[in-house]
Structure 1
Amino acid sequence: MARSQCLCQPGRERLLYRGVNGMRIGICVAVLVLSGLVANAAAELRLLSIPGNSTWSDVKQRSVSENTFIELIDLESYEDGIGPIAPARMVPVPEISLALTSDETDAAIDSTLFAFSLNVTRADVVALTDAEREDGTIVEEGTVLIPRWSPFPRSLEAVQLLRRAGITEIEAMINVAESFPRPPGGDKYNKSLNLTALGRFERALTGIRLQEGLGRVFDGDPLTHFERIDRLGEDVTQQWILYVDLGHYFPIRLFRLYPSLEEPVRVSSYTLLRGLPGTETVIAGLSLEDPITGPLAFPRFDRIGDTFPTFIPEASVPVNVEDTIAVVFKPLAQMRYARFDFQTPLDYDLAEMEFFADGFMPEAVYTSNALPLPPATLGRIFWDEEKIGDPTKSRAIVRVRTGFTTEPDVLFRINYYDREVEWKEGASLIDRRLGSATQGQVVHLDSSEFNIEAREVFSAALPEDRQPIRLTREDYIGLPVSVRRRIEPDLEFWSSVQTADKGELVNAPSGRPFIQVEVEFLSQSPEAATVIRNMRLEYSAPQITDQVLGEIGPAVDVIAGRDTSFVLALKASIGPENNGFNRLQVFTPARTEEIVGMEADLGDGQVQVLSPIGIDEGEAGGGQFQELYIADDQFVVGFPTIGPAGDGQARDALVKVRFRGRVINFHTNFFANAFLDTLDADVERHYTRNGILAVGEGALDTLAFFLPQEVEDSDVVDFGATDQLSDRNTLAVIADVSAQSEDLVSNFKAEPNPFTPNGDGINDEMTVLFDVQRLLTPKPVRLEIFDLNGRRLRLIERQLLSGGYSQQWDGRADGGQIVPPGLYVLRISAEADDAGSAQTRIVSVAY
């Protein structure tokens, strides 16, 4: 049993202790005042929360880039929260004496003014108060001093005017080309992004010299430059093409290119092109060695990605007379790929090529470290959201995965023989390949002797032998960039990533020692963003079982829409640290007609058939089971707790539940949960997909919340041998739908008929039963009551998917009045393209 911290009321004691990773883990213990509760009812529901004793920054996964770069996630601006960055920063206006004159400036002041002038405004800079210019004229409050998207001033007089006008800081856009990290495996000479130069360069400018020259164009330092100037005996190439990959899409407002400040020689003719988002296509390869692409350039054409977009021109100037090339994008351009064509045979010089972003990132992802947990049953996940701008233009997607190791990814490197491997340098393993010459011997994976066979040796090793020698994140960061290769999710020791819904159960395997959280922020507008705050994850430890596996039979050749006898088989592995389980919740596509029986084998080979008892006969005792709850979509059975063996040892228990129900669709997945319910029978319970909610009579809040342990589908029994049923080793059933009618509604009936809504507690309501077929998305299904004159008295409309449903009618019209005794027409219909005709039944109301 678990108790929710978020449901604590004043007067209850809240205990906090630090978990092994410094995260906040909370326990909420309530004093239960109802009589008859068992002694161990005050169990706890623990919470792992971010932020708690640790911040979002503390538990963020470390980047593999060694360079300074823009963090795509804003870890500072939102209290207790995170969101996508808007690439901008506040730049203080230099505090220079207002009495200083140009003749009195020194090198330090000039350097300060120069650094200040490299920034670009994000919005108009307006005077906050009246200010006097040097010539005595007055600049009135509200006057625009620097237009938006313009360079900051460099002159002493202009900076002093800013101070006089009350401006102490200015919001500046950020050049994301200089700041963004190169992807793993990027060229070591690229400071910040992937560059590809398509052109035949002079023989003296080969390889690393070319890359170093291009690096100076993206280093954020206007004093470094890349010359394209012919000198005596040194002819250089002026006409060429430069491709730029920023690594992510940014909302770009301004592109800027300018020459060296010392001897400015401008580009006299150019075309700027932008890669269109959504047009990226897979490319065969961009290298000299690629047999399809061929030798595109000399000395080399660096691969910049697996895909390449379609480029469209944004600016083309055949005769350029400006030193600084500036292209403003109105509206903003979502840009990752850019192409710049140098179309002149004349000399020029390149100091900086800049891409300034403006607004929230269209996509940004926060990824946590592997956060440690005790072996636990995972519960619900919660977080708070704040919307900035239009709330329909942004969203956040939360995902989780669980695993057994501290590194959730597989990291690869290139070894001495140019092979991509994921093990550490110098790693060794015992060769477990059957029949190999070195079977049973220790093999050094990087040895030249095993260059060809190293992958086979590694793959044949036991998982517990492979895991310790795999590269860690720290190992990977310590490698030269030139030998780093791809990073991909670890699907051997970790689960796949699962999307989490706020307030719902975490759909990832429980019982694993680590969990990782990922938050993806998506914005359709640069003015809109979503902020995530205060993430809380419920869990209950220890688990009630180590694992519960299940399968259902028959699993094929079931007639859709017809009641069928099913057997659900479970195998529960229960260790000495587990408490066991006594409830089974099974989710079904339609209301179950009957729980036929249960049987259990507690690991001794003796099958015990359990006898049914009524819900009013108290808790099920030894050799008994009871039907606790049946609804349209589920049933719950209770039985004596199945725990560890009497000597405290682990055991595997086999349980079978036999029931009659029906499937509707061609493919149906059954779901099941195991629980340990430790409260007395007289406590009211609500059975939900998230767990069992226990409330007391007259109580204002929840008394207890039991987290489910999900049943995983697997091979449990041989149904063909034990029950003569078709077997697929899964919880999925494949049905024969050939006999289904063309109507979307089938199995339509009403009972009791007649019924007597007179308030005596006997047959006061009629239950309408029906199945809905072939609806994969919710559609309106209408129930209507008409008198014999065709006048509609009652309308009930529900949005439904395929499944079996029931609906009560209490004999009242839409106005709330009881209809007179007599005959009425009950009509059901579905609003869909292939709905077919409506169905009707005559029903009788009597007193």
Structure 2
Amino acid sequence: MRIGICVAALVLAGWVTDAAAELRLLSIPGNDAWADIQQPSVSQNTYIELVEFERYEGGIAPIRPERLVSVPEVSLGLTADEVDAETDSILLEFSTNVARVDVVAPADVLLEDGTTLAEGTVLMPQWTSFPRSLEAVQLLRRAGITEIEAMINVAESFPRPPGADKFNKALNLTTFGRFEGALTGIRLQQGLGRVFDGDPLSSFERIDRVGQDVKQQWSLYVDFGHYFPIRLFRSFPRLEEPVRVSSYIFSRGLRGTEQVIAGLSLEDPATGPLGFPDFIEIGETFPTFIPASSEPANLEDTIAVLFDPPTQMRYSLMEFNSPLDYDLAEMEYFADGFVPSAVYNSLALPVPKATLGRIFWDEEKIGDPAKSRVIVRVRTGVTTEANVYYRVNFYDREVEWVEEGAIVVDRRIDSPTEGQAIDLEAAEFNLQAREIYSAASPEDRESIRISREDYTGLPVSVRRRIEPDLEFWSSPQQANRGELINAPSGRSFIQIGVEFVSDEPESGTILSNMRFEFSAPQITDQVLGEIAPAVDVAAGVDTTFVLALKASVGAENSGFNRLQVFTPARVEAIEGVEVDLGDGQVVALANAGAGGGDAVEGQFQELLIDDNQFVVSFPTIGGDGGAGELEATVKARFRARVIDFHTRFSASVYLDTMGTDVDRQFSNNGILAVSGDVLDTLAYFLPQRVVGDDVVDFGVTDQLSDRNSLVVLADVSSQSDEVVGNFEVTPNPFTPNGDGINDEMTVLFDLQRLLAPRSVRVEIFDLNGRRLHHTERQLASGGYSQPWDGRDDAGNLVPPGLYILRVSVEADDAESGRMRVVSVAY
């Protein structure tokens, strides 16, 4: 298996000679198609593929159960009397299809009798059967129609493999317990299964006793396994000597009402005759059924129920309320449109031990763009199996280990067999097996787990649940296009999951050209972080915080020299940075002030202080290529304020290898180095996230409260009731005369007590109330700044004088705002 990996070189030749600042991209599809790296089904006998791989070049999408059917190539001179058995069979097969759209004459058609069929004449209405008569087929050929778009019967499912060409092998048939006995597997497959084999010449006869009326009426439940947009339900008896259903009620399961119904199992041979209880377990879920069509006295051979618009259906119920015998040739469910949901999961894809970057993909919308979407999720792990597979063992216990060779070392403290190799399937350890397994080393547990291949080979009767592996794998994390992958880096495998959602059958999304960045080797193995004080911090008041980092840097890691911290408001000051390289010597770095590149030995530089983040540089920690393992501790002290009761700080470390003669753009996704003259991208440095955890005992080192995390809990009792707080204007007055001194005014404010982002307006009025300038942004709780250069909305400098500044917020209950008089002077 090969995954297409390409290299995106972001280094401009001649600018950098000592470091290779490049990103690598893993792309799907690359050298392999989406289908080649798809996680296979655990059961090829009861499976339906809901993802389309072939229709869209290089992309995947939810299936649309439709196909193009060729019009039979019959001679236009052939008469009905000359039709042989082979041609009749071809016409019969053609007639089993249903048109998805109107079939119209593409041009005027000259008929045999000399008349003309006008262009646009409907030759076959939508949602009706294809013609079987020779004359109707010949008319289609005369009109130049060679292919017709047909809906697919999603209930075509039997026989199971080797009849592997059936559309839906996941369909499940069960009967309510009103037979003399439950239908056996043979009768389901060879009897009732004929109703779902796509062959109108085969049928199922419902006869209790030969020559006698039906004594026990029955109901048939159909479960497709997934929801489909059903346009047409159709049922009919055999073609020769048909015996129609004389009375019925057809109901559909209401989506969203599914629940588990406890009861007896139809497949349990010990159950015996099924008459009571009425509600038996027919599947894992059981919805509320609502009637779609009923006929107490049916006089038609074909039962047809049309749904316009299509209805989302997975479960259906057919109640045969007939005291007479009948037969069923086919029960058909024709779908029209995209399935409402479909999921694609990749295999565990091998990747180098690297720092993960951004993820990208392309989307193409069909129908209403607002009515469909894709949700991409990413997991990373250290094993080739991303799931845990369970089975029932000989002792009727649900376990996740193999039957043969389930041997681990007993690591239970003070147990009689401590340190001994134990076979978990041995009878003498039956009651202790789970405890022994849980205490075993991760390596032992991983080595005896059931693999996907093992699980597929198990009898269905002993298979049990499948769950995501949360021990050796991360939980699935939703990915946002163009943003960093929110899953742990430095792991050997990655799994991509794509969920397609269509809110209406006419709309769907195609996903293609997925790729994600990574850089190897990692700059560190792991970075943990903790902040203090973490409790009872006064909200809205500047407080000195200490962020402590513990970085594990191995010989293969390249080290780091940048720290980026995201804050709820602009920091007032960065008070200091301390470094301990693991030798117990704490080095306090001197503040070299604002700068644009590497800090010299013994110093740190302030690279950026913004409304929501600050970045500092310091001499590279680690990465000397042979010094072995290094565990460094870094402390950053800064004055900042929290706004809300619960604030989660976030931080990242980087290795920036560019010089001081380039510009940098800092974001949550990384550091972008650009040439200031021509805005060429020179390098892109991926962040390594800081994980909240216990780093130091702040109570001992700094006499501060901590929570072993990056979360701060604030005391909001002293916070004002105003939505806009800490309102400042500086400088005031200001002089926008272009001399570089006080040319711009900055409006500083906090937004507090907001439950969601709101519209915030900063406006400038003259003393007559005329608005001269305004900006509007959607902002959440936090601290913000807004500059004003003394110009109105037309770009003209305002005259010197006094003006009214207003900051207003559309809050949850009413508009709230603050005003201030500002002065413009020259």
1:369 aligns with 2:369: no
Query: Which of 386, 399, 409 in structure 1 is aligned with 2:364?
Result: 386
Aligned-pair CA distance for 1:496 = 1.2
Q: Which residue of 1 aligns with 2:171?
A: 193
1:299-318 pair list within 5 angstroms: 303-318=281-296
Question: AA paired with 1:310?
Answer: T
Contact 1:65 1:181 in 2 (8 A): no
Any idea what the Cα deviations from partners look like across 1:593-651, whole Å, max 9, x if unmatched?
A: 11111111112122111111133596312221111100000000000001146743111
Query: Which of 313, 318, 326 in structure 2 is aligned with 1:340?
Result: 318
**TM-score, scaled relative to structure 1:** 0.91
Q: Which residue of 1 aligns with 2:163?
A: none
1:508 aligns with 2:487: yes
Q: Which residue of 2 aligns with 1:528?
A: 507
Question: AA paired with 2:51?
Answer: I
State the alpha-carbon separation in 2 of the partners of residues 803 and 438 from structure 1: 58
Query: Which of 468, 471, 494 in structure 2 is aligned with 1:489?
Result: 468
Aligned-pair CA distance for 1:435 = 3.6
Q: What is the root-mean-square deviation of aligned Cα atoms in Å?
A: 2.8
1:410 aligns with 2:406: no
Closer, same or farther in 2 for the Cα pair 1:833/1:195, shift >3 Å?
Answer: same
State the alpha-carbon separation in 1 of the partners of residues 762 and 86 from structure 2: 83
Question: AA paired with 2:4?
Answer: R
Closer, same or farther in 2 for the Cα pair 1:101/1:785, shift >3 Å?
Answer: closer
Closer, same or farther in 2 for the Cα pair 1:217/1:453, shift >3 Å?
Answer: farther
Q: Which residue of 1 aligns with 2:18?
A: 40
Query: Which of 248, 252, 266 in structure 1 is aligned with 2:230?
Result: 252
Q: Which residue of 2 aligns with 1:433?
A: 412
1:26 aligns with 2:6: yes
Secondary structure of the corresponding residue to residue 154 of structure 1: coil
1:580 aligns with 2:559: yes
Secondary structure of the corresponding residue to residue 639 of structure 2: strand
Closer, same or farther in 2 for the Cα pair 1:825/1:165, shift >3 Å?
Answer: closer
State the alpha-carbon separation in 2 of the partners of residues 268 and 356 from structure 1: 23
Contact 1:429 1:457 in 2 (8 A): no
Contact 1:288 1:300 in 2 (8 A): no
1:96 aligns with 2:74: yes
State the alpha-carbon separation in 2 of the partners of residues 375 and 633 from structure 1: 31
State the alpha-carbon separation in 2 of the partners of residues 770 and 294 from structure 1: 76
Secondary structure of the corresponding residue to residue 592 of structure 1: coil
Secondary structure of the corresponding residue to residue 18 of structure 2: helix
Aligned-pair CA distance for 1:48 = 0.7
Structure 2 portions without partners, runs of 5+ = 161-167
State the alpha-carbon separation in 1 of the partners of residues 274 and 811 from structure 2: 56
Query: Which of 463, 467, 470 in structure 1 is aligned with 2:449?
Result: 470
Any idea what the Cα deviations from partners look like across 1:764-784, whole Å, max 9, x if unmatched?
A: 111111100022322122223
Contact 1:568 1:658 in 2 (8 A): yes
1:655 aligns with 2:631: no
1:321 aligns with 2:299: yes
1:56-455 pair list within 5 angstroms: 56-67=34-45, 70-128=48-106, 139-179=117-157, 192-203=170-181, 209=187, 213-232=191-210, 238-284=216-262, 287=265, 297=275, 303-430=281-408, 431-455=410-434
Aligned-pair CA distance for 1:733 = 0.7
Question: AA paired with 2:396?
Answer: D
Closer, same or farther in 2 for the Cα pair 1:561/1:283, shift >3 Å?
Answer: farther
Q: Which residue of 2 aligns with 1:761?
A: 740
State the alpha-carbon separation in 2 of the partners of residues 236 and 647 from structure 1: 86
State the alpha-carbon separation in 2 of the partners of residues 41 and 529 from structure 1: 45
Question: AA paired with 2:448?
Answer: I
State the alpha-carbon separation in 2 of the partners of residues 223 and 298 from structure 1: 36
Aligned-pair CA distance for 1:301 = 7.2
Contact 1:380 1:505 in 2 (8 A): yes
Any idea what the Cα deviations from partners look like across 1:261-300, whole Å, max 9, x if unmatched?
A: 344211110001112222334545564899xx99975699
Aligned-pair CA distance for 1:811 = 2.1
Question: AA paired with 1:401?
Answer: R
1:459 aligns with 2:438: yes
State the alpha-carbon separation in 1 of the partners of residues 793 and 533 from structure 2: 44
Aligned-pair CA distance for 1:823 = 3.1
Greater shift in the superposed pair: 663-672 or 151-160: 151-160
Secondary structure of the corresponding residue to residue 319 of structure 2: strand
Greater shift in the superposed pair: 316-325 or 389-398: 389-398
State the alpha-carbon separation in 2 of the partners of residues 770 and 617 from structure 1: 28
Question: AA paired with 1:446?
Answer: E
1:589-604 pair list within 5 angstroms: 589-604=568-583
State the alpha-carbon separation in 2 of the partners of residues 126 and 409 from structure 1: 51
Closer, same or farther in 2 for the Cα pair 1:345/1:436, shift >3 Å?
Answer: farther
Secondary structure of the corresponding residue to residue 221 of structure 1: coil
State the alpha-carbon separation in 2 of the partners of residues 582 and 105 from structure 1: 84
Contact 2:182 2:266 in 1 (8 A): no
Secondary structure of the corresponding residue to residue 94 of structure 2: helix
Secondary structure of the corresponding residue to residue 447 of structure 2: helix
Closer, same or farther in 2 for the Cα pair 1:198/1:612, shift >3 Å?
Answer: same
Closer, same or farther in 2 for the Cα pair 1:236/1:475, shift >3 Å?
Answer: farther
Greater shift in the superposed pair: 599-608 or 215-224: 215-224
State the alpha-carbon separation in 1 of the partners of residues 674 and 347 from structure 2: 37
Query: Which of 509, 524, 533 in structure 2 is aligned with 1:554?
Result: 533
State the alpha-carbon separation in 1 of the partners of residues 792 and 158 from structure 2: 66
Any idea what the Cα deviations from partners look like across 1:229-258, whole Å, max 9, x if unmatched?
A: 243498755512222222222110011112
Contact 1:598 1:610 in 2 (8 A): yes
Secondary structure of the corresponding residue to residue 523 of structure 2: coil
Closer, same or farther in 2 for the Cα pair 1:103/1:698, shift >3 Å?
Answer: same
Contact 1:238 1:347 in 2 (8 A): no
State the alpha-carbon separation in 1 of the partners of residues 396 and 239 from structure 2: 43
Contact 2:158 2:194 in 1 (8 A): no
Contact 1:68 1:181 in 2 (8 A): no
1:780 aligns with 2:762: no
Question: AA paired with 1:373?
Answer: V
Q: Which residue of 1 aligns with 2:660?
A: 681
Secondary structure of the corresponding residue to residue 322 of structure 1: coil
Closer, same or farther in 2 for the Cα pair 1:204/1:68, shift >3 Å?
Answer: closer
Q: Which residue of 1 aligns with 2:165?
A: none
Greater shift in the superposed pair: 55-64 or 685-694: 55-64
Secondary structure of the corresponding residue to residue 22 of structure 2: coil
Any idea what the Cα deviations from partners look like across 1:493-551, whole Å, max 9, x if unmatched?
A: 11111111111111111111111112222112211111112111111111111111111
State the alpha-carbon separation in 2 of the partners of residues 747 and 766 from structure 1: 16
Contact 1:288 1:294 in 2 (8 A): no
Aligned-pair CA distance for 1:395 = 1.6
Greater shift in the superposed pair: 487-496 or 191-200: 191-200
Query: Which of 31, 43, 51 in structure 2 is aligned with 1:53?
Result: 31
Closer, same or farther in 2 for the Cα pair 1:121/1:450, shift >3 Å?
Answer: farther
Contact 1:177 1:192 in 2 (8 A): no
Greater shift in the superposed pair: 481-490 or 384-393: 481-490
Any idea what the Cα deviations from partners look like across 1:576-608, whole Å, max 9, x if unmatched?
A: 111000000000000011111111111212211
Contact 1:201 1:298 in 2 (8 A): no
State the alpha-carbon separation in 2 of the partners of residues 48 and 694 from structure 1: 22
**What is the aligned-residue identity percentage?**
69
Question: AA paired with 2:748?
Answer: L
Secondary structure of the corresponding residue to residue 525 of structure 1: coil
Aligned-pair CA distance for 1:561 = 0.5
Question: AA paired with 1:764?
Answer: D
Greater shift in the superposed pair: 120-129 or 581-590: 120-129
Greater shift in the superposed pair: 779-788 or 700-709: 779-788
Secondary structure of the corresponding residue to residue 401 of structure 2: coil
Count residues in correspondence: 816
Contact 2:41 2:47 in 1 (8 A): no
Closer, same or farther in 2 for the Cα pair 1:321/1:39, shift >3 Å?
Answer: same
State the alpha-carbon separation in 2 of the partners of residues 664 and 315 from structure 1: 59
Aligned-pair CA distance for 1:426 = 1.6
Closer, same or farther in 2 for the Cα pair 1:807/1:137, shift >3 Å?
Answer: closer
Secondary structure of the corresponding residue to residue 700 of structure 2: helix
